[in-house]
């Protein structure tokens, strides 16, 4: 049979679901992949510092689990909601953070904070529901919310986090979001932290207009300056908290959680169960083994601020030295990123990225985080992945890239 004849009897291509329409693959130029190339110093991804990941301790804990009477249980199916002891551990820490009791039944263990957002969205979002989100935003969260065919309402972020006054204006103007998604502490990408006053205002608006706040919080344990701000959940019961061990123990573990209001926990567990049955039993057992050692978690967390404070300061000082008049960066109190603005006339962050990659350094340009309003002068630099001398080299390469554009 000829090719034409075969084509004539084949069915047409399988159409994608409508929900795929507004959803990109990752960031436009996939800069995360650049981290694999050893010649390129990547300041692109949200990878925690390699030195901060307790590989040997996780390995030893996993071996103890498999060498014990728990081995079979650790390799079996387990409860969709997560192991009760791990949910209790998470609830105890959340209770201390909020200053309000959190019951382990409110906790659902997930494969990271992003799956937490996915199962929350699956349980709560119908096509056409309005979801308000920080602009700029973490692209994976934006894509996840769009995957459920929500109408996205962008709310600007400034130095103090989401502009809650702007949100209030939208609400007064008739917009009715079902969810308001925000990274209130060390926002990705800007590093901004929502002030306590704005958190209270957001909580008030949630009560008044009946929306739920989704507070995505993978970074609050990475504070290296100043005092913690109470979470939005300290001020309202209408908050779903997304948490994660990705930035403290390693994203490859894929362990995070949702803390939901009691009335929603069962539905979110159902959404989780019919996605993947449950999160890895073995990894949950391994973490419990580690976290069950008295003082281990506190000692581990205590090592992180020094590491990130030093790296953030090194990056900022290299920018001040080598890129004065070209790039200005902010001064976050924690997290993994600084947010920058190209101030040299005529240079956009995308052009700078092209030139930078040719000189062996990468970052993510600001427009890749835009929800509605790309700002071509902005960019995000991660200081997490490299010691001070490498960060200095990265910034010198960036300066050479900027100089080539000016020339
Ligand atoms: C704001 C935000 N939410 C969620 C995630 C994903 O976290 P996880 O690895 O726990 O899924 C990230 C990772 O960079 C993030 O920045």
Q: Which residues are bridge partners to 250 per DSSP? A: none
- What's residue 159's pLDDT? 97
Q: Of 235, 265, 296, which residue constitutes the final position of a domain?
A: 296
Please list the rounded mean pLDDT of every run of 10 residues in the chain (407 residues). 71 86 64 60 96 98 98 98 98 97 98 98 98 97 96 98 98 98 98 98 98 98 98 98 98 98 98 98 98 98 98 98 98 98 94 96 96 96 98 98 91
Task: Report the alpha-carbon distance of residue 152 to residue 143 in Å, rounded.
Answer: 10
- Do 50 and 251 contact (CB within 8 A), yes or no? no
Spatial separation of the C-alpha atoms in residues 260 and 262, rounded to whole Å: 6
Distance CA 64, CA 292 (A): 13
Are 315 and 223 within one domain?
A: no
- What is the pTM assigned to this prediction? 0.94
Domain match, 344 and 260 both: no
Domain residues for the domain of 186 are 56-296
Flag whether 4 is in a domain: no
| Residue among 174, 170, 173, 172 at smallest CA distance from 162 | 170
pLDDT of residue 28: 44
Give the domain-ending residue among 266, 296, 326: 296
H helix or E strand, kind and range, residue 391: helix 388-406
Residue 48 in domain:
yes
If one residue of 53, 222, 240, 246 were mutated to test the ligand 1 pocket, choosing by the most ligand atoms within 8 A of its CB, it would be 246
Task: In the chain, count H helices and then E strands.
Answer: 13, 14
Instruction: Point out the ligand 1 atom lying closest to the alpha carbon of residue 255.
Output: 10
Q: Can you give the pLDDT at residue 394?
A: 98
Residues 281 and 173 grouped into a single domain? yes
Please give the tally of structural domains in the chain.
2
Taken as a whole, the chain contains a residue count of 407
Give yes or no: residues 351 and 236 share one domain.
Answer: no
CATH of the domain at 395: 3.90.1150.10
Pocket of ligand 1 (CB under 6 A): 46, 112-114, 138, 141, 183, 188, 216, 218, 244, 246, 251, 256
Q: Which atom of ligand 1 is nearest to the CA of 138?
A: 1
Does residue 14 fall inside a structural domain? Answer: no
**Nearest to residue 226, comparing CAs of 188, 185, 197, 184?**
185
The burial class, CB within 10 Å (0-12 / 13-18 / 19+), for 12 is exposed
């Amino acid at each position: 049979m000829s090719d034409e004849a075969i084509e004539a009897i084949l069915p047409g291509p399988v159409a994608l679901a409508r929900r795929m329409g507004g959803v990109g693959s990752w960031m436009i130029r996939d800069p995360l992949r650049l981290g694999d190339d050893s010649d390129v110093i990547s300041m692109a991804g949200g990878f925690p510092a390699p030195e901060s990941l307790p590989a040997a301790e996780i390995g030893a804990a996993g071996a103890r689990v498999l060498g014990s009477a728990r081995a079979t249980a650790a390799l079996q199916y387990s409860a969709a909601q997560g192991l009760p002891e791990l949910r209790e551990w998470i609830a105890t820490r959340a209770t201390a953070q909020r200053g309000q009791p959190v019951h382990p039944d409110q906790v659902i263990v997930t494969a990271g904070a992003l799956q937490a957002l996915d199962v929350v969205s699956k349980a709560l979002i119908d096509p056409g529901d309005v979801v308000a989100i920080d602009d700029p935003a973490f692209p994976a969260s934006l894509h996840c919310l769009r995957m459920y065919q929500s109408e996205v309402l962008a709310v600007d972020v400034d130095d103090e986090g989401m502009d809650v006054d702007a949100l209030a204006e939208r609400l007064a103007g008739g917009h009715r979001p079902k969810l308001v998604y925000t990274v209130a502490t060390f926002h990705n990408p800007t590093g901004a932290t929502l002030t306590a006053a704005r958190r209270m205002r957001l909580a008030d608006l949630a009560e008044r207009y009946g929306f739920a706040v989704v507070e995505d919080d993978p970074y609050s344990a990475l504070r290296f300056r100043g005092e913690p701000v109470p979470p939005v959940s300290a001020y309202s019961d209408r908050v779903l908290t997304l948490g994660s061990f990705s930035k403290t123990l390693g994203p490859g573990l894929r362990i995070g959680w949702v803390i939901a209001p009691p009335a929603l926990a069962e539905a979110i567990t159902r959404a989780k169960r019919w996605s993947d049955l449950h999160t890895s039993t073995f990894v949950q057992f391994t973490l419990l083994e580690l976290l069950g050692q008295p003082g281990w978690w506190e000692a581990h967390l205590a090592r992180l601020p020094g590491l990130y404070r030093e790296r953030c300061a090194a990056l900022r000082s290299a920018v001040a030295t080598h890129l004065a008049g070209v790039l200005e960066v902010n001064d976050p109190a924690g997290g993994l990123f600084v947010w920058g603005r190209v101030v040299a006339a005529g240079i956009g962050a995308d052009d700078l990225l092209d030139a930078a990659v040719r000189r062996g350094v990468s970052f993510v340009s600001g427009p890749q985080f835009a929800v509605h309003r790309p700002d071509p002068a902005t960019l995000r630099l991660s200081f997490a992945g490299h010691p001070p001398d490498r960060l200095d080299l990265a910034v010198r390469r960036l300066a050479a890239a900027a100089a080539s554009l000016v020339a």
